Amino acid sequence: MKTTFGETLKQVRRDKSISQRELADKVGVDFSYISKIENDRLPPPSAETIIKICQILDIPNEVLLARSGKVSSEIKEVIGSSVGAIRFLNEAQDMKLSDDDWLRLSDMLKQLK
């Protein structure tokens, strides 16, 4: 069973020995909000807040973003303005790609230019 956003956040934060209050202060939200999120009492924060959290915790953005269902505004911009990108992603969706497949696509991407 896949771990939730809250479980992942709680684990990472504890590993780094940071309190909810300290994290919350640095991110710029109330500490009680962090608590609720860690216990999955509230849905994950906005993509922007998730990214801040990852920066404070010193982990790659994708770790939490991928457990959140949220899409960063940068990525939204790429998709939301390109017919080609939307078509591509619709196809990708149908094929249920693995992380390995995506890695291969990243390689192809580099060869493209």
58 and 37 in contact (C-beta within 8 Å)? no
Backbone angles phi, psi at 18, to 5 degrees: -115, 140
Q: Structure tokens of 48?
A: 């922007």
Contact flag: residue 91 with DNA (CB under 7 A):
no
If the CB atoms of residues 14 and 87 are measured against a copy of itself, the closer one turns out to be 87
95/72 Cα distance (integer angstroms): 23
Cβ 29 to DNA shortest distance, Å:
4
Q: Which residues bind a copy of itself (CB under 8 A)?
A: 61-63, 65-72, 74-93, 95, 97-106, 108-110, 112-113
Q: Which stretch binds DNA (CB under 7 A): 43-51, 75-83, 94-102, 104-112?
A: 43-51
In 10 A of CB 81, how many CB atoms?
9
Contact residues: DNA, CB under 7 A: 14, 19-22, 28-33, 35-36, 38-39, 41-43, 45-49, 70
